[in-house]
Homo-oligomer: A and B are copies of this chain.
Amino acid sequence: LSREARFSAFDKLTRRIQDEQLLAPLWPDGETVALLDQTRLPFARDVIHIRTAEEMGNAIRQMQIRGSGAIGCAGALGAYLAVRSAAKQPDQWNRLVEPLRNARPTALALRLAVDEVLDAARGAADPLESAANAAVAFFERQIGMERALGRHGAAVIADGATVLTHCHSGALAGAGYGGRALSVIRAAAESGKRISVIAQETRPYFQGARITAWELRQLGVPVTLITDGMSGAVMEAGRVDVCVVGSDRLAINGDLANKTGTYLVALAAREHDVPFYTATTRYNVDPTCPDGRHIPIEFRPGDEVLTINGQRIAAEGVDALYPAFDITPAKLLTGIITEVGTLTAPFEAKLRVLLQNEKDIVA
């Protein structure tokens, strides 16, 4: 057996993933880190093996792993791989992790995770084992946050409820329990409530159709797909009891940046008196951002809208716009579900308390 396979921290993590039936986006596997290729789901379940920090950065860049929690775990295990590549040359580590650290410019947790693991390894008697321990600690802290967030969020889901969600804010975007929005749904289901989900497909990349629906099937939660234009129609038909979405970034006043289409769901929910929640963690709250007007919206290439599986959907000469996020103002949120509880308006003081909590409060 290789030395890595004997690290008790890796052992403990892989056992936990099995015992708790986590849908982990990646996990230590002998001398490599195994990673489920999310670009192929749900039609193929390909596992790729990552051997270096650089390969981990590439996997992130190619969207084989995505979602803020998952990218944090990838950063932690990727930093471990960098230490492994040069255990006796700590002066090389920063160079080795640089492409990984910058694989997604807006991913705060990625840089935090990389730094945390390198800090633990630096000056340690056994840098490699210390890096392994720190990477697993980061991973387990994420799992703990998801479970805590799920427990708090489950309280707002009634037995028999139909929950509408948008895009993918689930296990594969996190550490494997349920990420953010799907942790709430998973915890509600595990507490014995009979719930079902309406998932929006999420054009242009169909994360809702491909990944959210697949995860819910794995959990045995009934799931019905709609297109991104149908939330109003299903609410008019009285088919939605509560909305729970994730959050890409939260301004300190509670304004929410999330995958485009979220805002329309929130507008429809208000009109039909359907509670609307975002599930988030401290890692998604930006204290330097006073409100949603200060969150820059990424306009991605319009070609991503114009083609599906390489096939064009519109005539030549037609352009497209792809605002990747929209802003849901805090006034439309019934509450913000976090790892320390569900916050209600006014949000700012409560979000500042969330940010001041020790990082391991819910580990």
Chain B nearest Cβ from A107, distance in angstroms: 21
A317 contact set on B, CB distance < 8 A? 217
- Who on chain B is nearest to A270 by CB? B267
Specify which of B229, B261, B322 is in contact with A202 (CB 8 Å cutoff). B229
Contact between A260 and B318, CB atoms less than 8 A apart: no
Question: Which stretch (A67-75, A109-117, A124-132, A323-331) binds chain B?
Answer: A323-331
Tell yes or no: A308 within 8 A of B by CB: yes
Contact between B318 and A217, CB atoms less than 8 A apart: yes
A308 contact set on B, CB distance < 8 A? 308-309
A260-B230, A318-B217, A321-B198 given as contacts; is B225 within 8 A of A305 (CB)? Answer: yes
Specify which of B213, B229, B311, B314 is in contact with A229 (CB 8 Å cutoff). B229
Chain B nearest Cβ from A284, distance in angstroms: 19
- Chain A contact residues, majority secondary structure: mixed
- Who on chain B is nearest to A208 by CB? B314
Contact between B319 and A223, CB atoms less than 8 A apart: yes
Contact between B234 and A321, CB atoms less than 8 A apart: yes
A239 contact set on B, CB distance < 8 A? 321
Interface string of A215-252 (1 = CB under 8 A from B): 00100001111111111111011010000000000000
A320 contact set on B, CB distance < 8 A? 224-226
Within 8 A of B (CB), among A175-207: 198, 200-204, 206
Ordered nearest first, which 3 A-B pairs have the shortest CB separation?
A229-B261, A228-B229, A42-B315
